[in-house]
Structure 1
């Protein structure tokens, strides 16, 4: 029974990773597609490849997810696996709901909310201080940094090219967007695939199939990288339209700046702070930042408000679904 439950949890985690890929495909390529720097299919292939590469570049974020959200050390392996399973259900359900309505919410925070909700429903302890330091603060600070930095860099770009011919500038930035979209896709794989690795690693730790000091097994890294890449390649057109056109009409220069700033924020959080931040929050706030350099009214704040509402609801909504699933399944699974 326990072995079957582990296999099911791993499969469900990879399923979440796949939904993460198509849910967040827009993060990396929406701006490049909307400015016609890349065709949709070429952009998806590039993003899928870079997602796979990025997923293999580190494990710090994965270890945060596995060891700094829910304390499962003193519980039975059976209960621990149910907590992980129900946390994944909460995250997947919220991903599918927001994908259906075309809202770029955070798969990262859906997963964390799901784990917290399932853990509390099962009577387990959560690492409150760690969650505040590594999740809540980065969740607040990263979008603000993305907005302000994108705004400042875009102002600098406008000043640097103020005397250049607009057609030439547009052509050059359209070419440059290929590199910035690749950098963003790499950061997405670096951040989001690691979260699935962390969940699988957590499940393996609870049954003694892995040791914390040995780190994450290679097969876990490769399977998580493959799942998010396949999900990305399948595309997320609903959310892509929201990010690429509904918030603001982007030009190549603004697209390049938004992607470059977002990628930098993701790299700093992954390699320096080891914080699982949201690629969705980061790129969306950066798009708003470059858009605000035209004028504040250029940003469609009504759409931005709907996105913000989804952001606020993500953790409690995923936690609620996970908690209800835990209460429903626990009597059935013992």
Structure 2
């Protein structure tokens, strides 16, 4: 039974990674395709390649990042917790993709982990301390801070970029900014792999090795599975979410697309490499798009869509916690 559970955790974690790349491809390619800086096919291939590179890099840096945020009981019970976590997060991600709403896969994963861990408490296991800190540091604090920072930075940087390009012909400025957006696509995809790739690797390490796994020496097969899952998902491309970000949410142009990608890249690298914050690529991209797009006379924000989007961001950890709780309790007979 233990082997079967381990295989199930690996399979569903790879599925979660595939869905992560599938849904979050829009973060890297949405604006680039919208402003015609790259064709859709070239954009997704570029994003997939740099997602893979970012995932491999995150494996090298995992000892620096630390995987201590992810803990599970030892043995079969730990595998059940991890299985409920990734299945719950995957189900929620599929639902939001179907609705066309971008949301954080990291928050879905953390919410599922908290719910599955609480199921252990209901079954009479010892309460795991640190759950409140996990939710605060991994979900609520980044959710409160990163969208506000991204919105404000993009809003003011748009004015600065417009001032720099004030003497350029619009056609010339747009051509230059479209070229810069191509680089921005690669940078955002690399930052996404750096942030989300480490989470997929961490789940696989805890499942296969345990909480005391050597974060400095992650097995090559784990890195390969995580990179392939994220890369193949990006190649598939979740165009429903892309359409929401690049067309439905707000109007944009090459200048504002460039500013949004610049802010997203800086925040992902700043958060991942300096603060070691689990910043959500989705939240950062969406907020920076809104910030850059709001700095124009015809912003035309889709306010009802924005309200629903924020509501789903808040609901994500709560919904996946409930799913993780229910799934862990349903899987309880496997460990009796």
Please say whether Structure 1 and Structure 2 have the same fold, judged by a TM-score greater than 0.5. yes
Match of 2:176 in 1: 172
Say yes or no: does 1:98 pair with 2:96.
Answer: yes
Of 316-325 and 216-225, more deviation after overlay is shown by 216-225
Match of 2:271 in 1: 269
Cα offset for 1:136? Answer: 2.5
Of 172-181 and 57-66, more deviation after overlay is shown by 57-66
Q: For residue 216 of structure 1, give the secondary structure of its aligned residue in structure 2.
A: coil
Structure 2: distance between partners of 1:133 and 1:20: 21
Q: For residue 298 of structure 1, give the secondary structure of its aligned residue in structure 2.
A: coil
Q: Is the 8 A contact 1:62 1:196 kept in 2?
A: no
2:200 corresponds to which of 187, 196, 215: 196
Q: How do 1:237-248 residues align onto structure 2 when only pairs under 5 Å count?
A: 237-248=239-250
Match of 1:114 in 2: 112
Match of 1:88 in 2: 86
Q: Which runs of 5+ in 1 are unaligned?
A: none
The total of aligned residue pairs comes to 329
Go from structure 1 to structure 2 and tell me whether the alpha carbon gap of 1:42 and 1:249 turns closer, same or farther (over 3 Å shift): same
2:291 corresponds to which of 284, 289, 292: 289
Q: For residue 209 of structure 2, give the secondary structure of its aligned residue in structure 1.
A: helix
Q: For residue 36 of structure 2, give the secondary structure of its aligned residue in structure 1.
A: coil
Cα offset for 1:193? Answer: 1.5
**TM-score under structure 1 length normalisation:** 0.93
Cα offset for 1:243? Answer: 0.5
Cα offset for 1:230? Answer: 0.2
Q: Is the 8 A contact 2:70 2:202 kept in 1?
A: no
Q: How do 1:105-254 residues align onto structure 2 when only pairs under 5 Å count?
A: 105-123=103-121, 124-127=127-130, 128-206=132-210, 211-212=213-214, 214-254=216-256
Structure 1: distance between partners of 2:34 and 2:66: 33
Go from structure 1 to structure 2 and tell me whether the alpha carbon gap of 1:247 and 1:65 turns closer, same or farther (over 3 Å shift): farther
Q: Which runs of 5+ in 2 are unaligned?
A: 122-126
Structure 1: distance between partners of 2:255 and 2:216: 45
1:320 corresponds to which of 315, 319, 322: 322
Q: For residue 316 of structure 1, give the secondary structure of its aligned residue in structure 2.
A: helix
Of 221-230 and 125-134, more deviation after overlay is shown by 125-134
